[in-house]
Chains A and B, each alone.
Chain A
């Protein structure tokens, strides 16, 4: 797929995020938008998956450890054909299968239920371990928030992954710099993130701009060639990316746009599409 094609899909993913959260009147747009390009790259370029056979045994796995950004994952899965895009409007509604946080029992394409921060990475490590034990070829990807890595369990999982040399595992950290109470640097700094993963025996790739498909492509291609170490991709991103008033704003971590804001957001994304 060309970079332009990926960019176009990512814009549709972003529209789906904003639409889902708008209709839910709740949810987490900021971190969904910062990772929209990553979700797009994984599901349209990187991973061996089949929307018509979501449970095929040899598929690559993805665990959304920062589960609150479910709108980003759901919108991508819908664009990829796992379920109708129209269903995004039912997000968080009573009776909808699109739960507030990923639910593997009811949502096609979701490989692990997640949402309680710090837990998804352990499940991803378990999946990667399973492949190592059985000599299966699938790869496992997990996305963490930069605030999430304040959870101690993340480092328990990282220690184990490094110790077991799980080179089929890619841990991605969405370093948008913001968490609910402020900047991650102010709240309880996890920096330097790269050096921490290095110390836990990871091959670390720093991505200067995780909203740039060329840089994502280079990083994931590099990760594929790493043997004997798990890979950590630390990608700097812009929280709220693509929606003018949400960009780099702590307030849009977990808030839905009102009608007027929704219109502005969609217009922003339309405009970005025309510019492509």
Chain B
């Protein structure tokens, strides 16, 4: 776990790889190319990088129009503006006609850090989940993020890709890693409790699992990179085998992974669920690591909360 890369960086790099292969790939940005890392693509393919200026709603509409003509646009901005400001454009101009638009939403969650609450989007997964046909992917590390971008290109239909600003540990093995939209990954077997984590919380959950193990608690750990469509089979089976479930996400506990898991389990296998995440509050300024610690989404916080609950 020595190497750390922000998934937004993985996004920019994957776009370049795809851009070399596919002529119809176009990247849109809203004056944040340096931050979203689409600048990496711009350097390589300036003619296929379209800066829309600070006008996210229009950018989503342009992406929709491009998609009707066979282009595959990746519309990029911060999660706050992609899912928040432009929600209705994404719903009506992209989701309703099921257009082949990929939304690259960076700077998601509390780990945006110093910018504070206005830019810390803890609601995007909840918003995007309500759009029929929208695929939502929240990758955990560089390996997964790059694979997700490639899978999103190949998928026919709208995809919301969620990336982070903070450099996070590379936890997957580049040689053996396999990504499939909608398929969760079991990282560790265990019988006492199932921890279902997503995004940068997967690495923290791994730390928590090790500490729980030292305490004699055998936790099963699942990485859910695709929040929609959710891998219901894997989640139900895990609930059946452990009887207790903990969800961990850098997102509001309202409407995100925790809610999705609860919706599934309450229908098919009612199970006690502890939802870890942002507990219906706005964030604040601070360094990403300090914030993850305060909101108990680092290894220590996850460990303590599970220990107290179990």
Which residue numbers of A lie inside 8 Å of B, CB to CB?
Answer: 57, 61, 63, 103-105, 111-116, 118-131, 133-134, 136, 152-153, 156-157, 159-160, 163
Chain A, residue nearest B63 (CB): A126
Complex Cα–Cα for A28 and B96 (A)? 21
A-B contact pairs, 23 of them (CB 8 A): A103-B96, A105-B97, A105-B98, A112-B97, A122-B62, A123-B61, A124-B65, A126-B64, A127-B68, A130-B65, A131-B69, A133-B48, A136-B69, A152-B57, A153-B55, A153-B89, A156-B57, A156-B58, A157-B58, A157-B62, A160-B53, A160-B62, A163-B53
**B73 CB contacts on chain A under 8 angstroms:** 126
Tell me how far the C-beta of B40 lies from the nearest C-beta in chain A, rounded to whole angstroms: 20
B64 contacts A130, C-beta separation under 8 Å: no
A126 to B26, CA, bound (A): 11
Distance, CA A239 to CA B139, complexed state (A): 52
What are the 10 closest A-B residue pairs judged by CB atoms, nearest first?
A126-B65, A122-B61, A156-B58, A156-B55, A126-B62, A123-B65, A130-B69, A113-B97, A127-B65, A126-B66
The minimal Cβ–Cβ distance linking A168 to chain B, given in whole angstroms, is 12
Are A122 and B57 CB-contacts (below 8 A) given A113-B97, A130-B65? yes
How many whole Å from A106's CB to the nearest CB in chain B?
10
For chain B, residues 35 to 67, give those with C-beta under 8 angstroms from any C-beta of chain A.
47-48, 50, 52-53, 55, 57-58, 60-67
- Bound complex: CA of A104 vs CA of B97, how far in Å? 7
Contact with A along B9-51 (1 / 0, CB 8 A): 0000000000000000010000000000000000000011010
State the Cβ distance, A209 to closest chain B Cβ, in Å: 30
Shortest Cβ distance from residue A264 to the other chain B in the assembled complex, whole angstroms: 36
What A residues does B130 contact at CB under 8 A?
none
Contacting residues, chain A, for B53 (C-beta < 8 A): 156, 159-160, 163
Measured between beta carbons, the chain A residues less than 8 angstroms from B50 are 129
- A164 CB, nearest partner CB in chain B, Å: 8
Q: Which chain A residue shows the least CB distance to B56?
A: A156
Minimal Cβ-Cβ distance residue in A for B62 = A126
Size class of the B contact interface (CB-based, 8 Å): 20 to 34
Cα distance, A84 to B112, chains bound together (Å): 55
Given the contacts A112-B64, A116-B92, A133-B26, A122 and B97 also touching, CB distance less than 8 Å: no
Q: A113-B96, A127-B69, A156-B55 are known contacts; what are 15 more A-B pairs with Cβ within 8 Å?
A: A103-B96, A114-B93, A118-B57, A119-B88, A123-B65, A123-B68, A124-B65, A125-B62, A126-B63, A126-B65, A130-B66, A152-B57, A157-B58, A157-B61, A159-B53
* Bound CA–CA A112/B70 (angstroms): 13
Cα–Cα, bound, A111→B70 (Å): 13
Q: Which residue of B lies closest to A130 (CB)?
A: B69
Checking B48, B55, B70, B88 against A116 with a beta-carbon cut-off of 8 angstroms, the contacting residue is B88
Minimum C-beta distance from B100 to chain A (A):
12
